[in-house]
Amino acid sequence: MKVAKRRQAMLDAVLSGITSIEALCQHFTISEATARRDLGALSDQGLLVRTYGGAAAHIGHREPELTLEQRRTRQGDVKARLADCALSCVEDNDTVLLDGGTTTAALAARLNERRGLHVVTNNMAALPCLTQLPEGHTTVLGGDLRASSMTVYGPLAHAALARLTVDRLFLSADGVTELGLCEASPEQAWLKEAMIARAAEVYIMADATKLGRASQQHWTAFPPHWTLITDATDARIDRFKALGATVLNPTA
């Protein structure tokens, strides 16, 4: 394969989620040195971002944000399995902070299987699932409504968080790369950062299609120690372990 054609194919592969050096070498049957040269050339052209151990789609390459209904119907069976795995991390009488998103909403639907929970959330779509917590209660963060995701954010949400601490935080994201959590707006990224600062344990729920995906341009950095709950089983998870993650897989 000619160099130009291979590099275009490599760019397409990265955009589709094949982002590690190891996976790209296997996919194109090339050496690590060749893969690194190709990624370097694509990065120099501004077509992608080099990351530790591979590459990610360029942060300026934005995809249209999905509607809430589109998110609900995408990967529904996988989200249910991730929720089951996340539930195993929750103990009776915990204080749990739930981020916005349909994956965290799937966890909300299971929390009535625990007793005495205090659930704090900015996820308006999850509220119907939190009305009958056995011996528990729910606190809704105030703020401005983001109708496209049915979440709240802004100064009021930050003010409420400043007066809370939680045992466990469950986060979602549009994408998860070595750069951190990828989001469509700076307000979302900033609120996630504030949530992380108030949590003893941080869990990021992301199906395999989210790993290596950099479809938006706003970022939240990982804490030093965190847990990734994902159905991915390929070499990508090793990169996140190197960034302080413990990986839980519902199929493992």
**One domain for residues 122 and 180:** yes
32 inside domain? yes
63 inside domain? no
Number of domains composing the chain: 2
Domain containing residue 28: CATH number:
1.10.10
Q: Specify the DSSP element, H or E, that contains 205.
A: strand 199-205
Evaluate if pTM is beyond 0.85.
Answer: no
14 inside domain? yes
**One domain for residues 53 and 91:** no
Strand order in the sheet with 245-248: 137-140, 118-121, 95-98, 166-171, 199-205, 226-229, 245-248
Q: Specify the DSSP element, H or E, that contains 13.
A: helix 3-15
**One domain for residues 27 and 99:** no
110 inside domain? yes
Percent helix, strand and coil across the chain, each rounded to 5?
A: 40, 25, 40
Q: Which residue has the tokens 């951190």?
A: 180
pLDDT tens, per residue, the chain with 252 residues: 688 889 888 888 887 778 788 889 998 999 999 998 998 888 777 677 776 677 766 555 455 555 555 555 555 589 999 999 999 999 999 999 999 999 999 999 999 999 999 999 999 999 999 998 999 999 999 999 988 888 999 999 999 999 999 999 999 998 998 889 988 888 888 999 999 999 999 999 999 988 988 777 788 999 999 999 999 988 889 989 999 999 999 975
17 inside domain? yes
Q: Which domain holds residue 29?
A: 3-57
